[in-house]
Amino acid sequence: MTTEPVNQDLWESMRQQNRDKAIYEQAAAYAFDYLDTIVDRAVFSSDEALKQLSVFDEPLPQKPGDVPHILEMLHDYGAPATVAQGGGRYFGFVNGNVIPGSLAARWLADAWDQNAALHVISPIAAKLEQVCEKWLVDLFRLPEDTAAGFVSGTSIATLCGLLAGRNTILERQGWDVVEDGIFGAPPIRVVASDQAHGTVRKALAILGVGRNNIEWIPADEQGRFDVDRLPLLDDNTLLILQAGNVYTGSFDPFVPLCAAAQGAGAWVHIDGAFGLWAAACEQTRSLTDGIDMADSWSVDGHKTLNSPYDSGIVLCKDRSALVKSLQASGSYIQYSDQRDGMLYTPEMSRRARGIELWALLKTLGRSGIDALVARLCENAKLFGEILAADGFRVLNDIVFNQVMVACDTPELTLSTLKHIQASGECWCGGAQWRGEPVIRISVCSWVTTAGDVRRSARAFVDARETARQKQAG
């Protein structure tokens, strides 16, 4: 069987693309144009930009395409349909921005195209993961030998932490999940606040713990775990706590809760997707007092820390528990006496996401991380103060980077949110809190300035006035 000429031409054209670099220079020029204009872009895509996305609706091409034209399509039609999270006025979904040094490192790492599974596959990826693990354990003030796995986000990090906890609890009862599976295993207890994040609920479902089998504890008025309602724990219990409520930003009282768990021999997992970074800031550190008493933790780099997306971290005090829950086997797998990243993650083949995380941590340093977290918190407080002065109801104690507000009536809140999102001036999301619609403001970008906050607050006031006028007819 002979290779068709078109395919011979394809391989040679791709070799030429690597030699002359023109398509990479074209992509870089488009990226620089995007970065140059991000601050002035409308925060959400216009209706026209969304309509033009139909240009991508076509059958799969039969023949290879022209790469410069493909990049041009992405620039002309893709870029206008992005959400300007890289500007200073995006406050939705606890989505962070990106620190330039980390983005540049990611571009370089993408060119390296490393698989971070094993040291023998990528020594540099293994080394930088090892360094990141040490730095993170230090920043969060966790037990010295705590292990870190670098995954896609807190959803997977939470799954890994809970997996290690479940398997350890069952092992204490003489049941080996790795060898015997979950069918027929002894039951375990799971205790969690009714304010546990949706990713926690999903992770538990994946692990075979249905919602009806969870002991849900009512939270207090700020969404914190109510210590007075904590049931009697035992060594068969998985206790799930939270550093940073997704609505209010509140933190569970870790010291008494973890002390009770330690006394009973329960496993404690802390979901700290964005809030665990409070431990790295002098101004907010007290919010995380007691987290070192837990057994596992989950956190994102791409929220509060402002790393590029696809950066989650699972941390586990018992290194062997995490490894035993996730380790793969096979005669072809070449483990080493160095760090082999796949021991700490569900994936085998995966992108070397630790490279840009290392670059970010080194770029900011301890003082820069402290300043970043403090900056987000200060802007959140300023946002709340301005909106309260303008007649909005601020419904939470602003202790971190989350602000939750409402108007005088549910109808006015919903209409105001709709007009804020359509304005292009800023963007934030909505939710339900205690049966009432609310507007959620998540201050997560290093780019955001006090000026951005004031400009966005004016957009809130203008949107509310528009909503009132429409209601009045």
pLDDT at position 5 is 58
pLDDT tens digit sequence for 327-385:
898 999 999 999 999 999 999 999 999 999 999 999 999 999 999 999 999 999 999 99
Joined tokens for residue 353: 């996401």
| Mean predicted confidence (pLDDT) in 169-186 | 95
C-beta separation of 317 from 142 below 8 A: yes
Q: What is the mean pLDDT of the chain?
A: 97
pLDDT tens digit sequence for 252-278:
999 999 999 999 999 999 999 999 999
| Percent with pLDDT over 90 in the chain | 97
Nearest to 236 by CA among 215, 206, 211, 212: 215
Report how many domains make up the chain. 2
Co-location of 107 and 209 in the same domain = yes
Local confidence band at 7 (pLDDT 50, 70, 90 cut-offs):
confident
- 162 found inside a domain: yes
**Cα distance between residue 353 and residue 312, in whole Å:** 9
Co-location of 188 and 111 in the same domain = yes
- 9 found inside a domain: yes
C-beta separation of 354 from 132 below 8 A: yes
| Mean predicted confidence (pLDDT) in 197-214 | 95
**Cα distance between residue 126 and residue 95, in whole Å:** 28
Residue type, 329: S
Local confidence band at 8 (pLDDT 50, 70, 90 cut-offs):
confident
376-377-381 Cα angle (round to 5)? 120
pLDDT at position 470 is 94
User: Would the pLDDT of 3 be above 60?
Assistant: no
Co-location of 300 and 209 in the same domain = yes
In sequence order, the 6+-apart residues with CB closer than 8 A to the CB of 23 are: 17, 67, 68, 71
- 198 found inside a domain: yes
Picking from 31, 56, 84, the residue at the C-terminal end of a domain is 84
- 42 found inside a domain: yes
Co-location of 146 and 236 in the same domain = yes
User: Would the pLDDT of 2 be above 80?
Assistant: no
Co-location of 75 and 168 in the same domain = no
- 232 found inside a domain: yes
**DSSP letters for 161-219:** HHHHHHHHHHHHTT--HHHH-STTPPP-EEEEETT--HHHHHHHHHTT--GGGEEEE-B
Co-location of 246 and 149 in the same domain = yes
Picking from 361, 393, 419, the residue at the C-terminal end of a domain is 361
- The CATH number given to whatever domain includes residue 353 is 3.40.640.10
- 446 found inside a domain: no
Strand ranges across the sheet with 402-406: 90-91, 427-433, 436-442, 402-406, 393-394
| Mean predicted confidence (pLDDT) in 168-184 | 95
Co-location of 12 and 57 in the same domain = yes
- Residue 76 is part of which domain span? 5-84
Co-location of 75 and 184 in the same domain = no
